[in-house]
């Protein structure tokens, strides 16, 4: 994808980011997809489902392979993917915030991180967009 989402898509992204920031500090729970606790893909699916895009609960790898298209120039709200975080394949995802930051469910809970830190830079795969976002 080489273009930004439509005005409706960008409005949804703004709502996703606002909701994500409101969830800062919610604890990490493996397999979690509620405000009681999230893992990375549960967090992302919760955000999109709460703003009108129906996503079945899947792993980061499944979302990477099945529901998304690579983005050349990401905009805030696009998805960022990583590999080799706890398994040797696509294993983590978050929401791109712009300015080299993303929000995600880390082992410390929902937090903002920088893409240029050594840990994330070494594991970065790329940016993608859910196919339902036009």
Residue (of 92, 98, 88) closest to 120 by Cα position: 92
**Contact criterion met (CB below 8 Å) for 80 and 123:** no
Annotated catalytic residue 46: no
Annotated catalytic residue: which of 104, 127, 128, 130?
Answer: 104
Task: State how far the Cα of 85 lies from the Cα of 28, in Å rounded to an integer.
Answer: 15
Annotated catalytic residue 40: yes
Task: State how far the Cα of 86 lies from the Cα of 34, in Å rounded to an integer.
Answer: 22
Backbone dihedral region of 27: left (phi > 0), alpha (psi from -120 to 50 degrees) or beta? Answer: beta
Annotated catalytic residue: which of 63, 78, 79, 92?
Answer: 92
Annotated catalytic residue 17: no
Annotated catalytic residue: which of 16, 40, 93, 133?
Answer: 40
The residues annotated as belonging to the active site are 40, 92, 104
């Amino acid at each position: 994808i080489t273009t930004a989402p439509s005005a409706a898509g960008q409005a949804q992204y703004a709502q996703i980011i606002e909701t994500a920031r409101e969830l800062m500090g919610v604890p990490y729970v493996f397999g979690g997809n509620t405000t009681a606790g999230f893992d990375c893909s549960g967090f992302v699916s919760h955000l999109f489902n709460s703003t009108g895009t129906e996503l079945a609960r899947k792993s980061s790898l499944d979302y990477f392979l099945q529901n998304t298209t690579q983005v050349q120039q990401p905009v805030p709200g696009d998805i960022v993917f990583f590999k080799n975080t706890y398994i040797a394949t696509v294993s983590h995802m978050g929401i791109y915030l712009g300015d080299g930051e993303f929000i995600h469910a880390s082992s410390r809970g929902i937090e903002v991180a920088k893409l240029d830190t050594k840990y994330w830079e070494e594991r970065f795969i790329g940016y993608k967009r859910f196919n339902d976002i036009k």
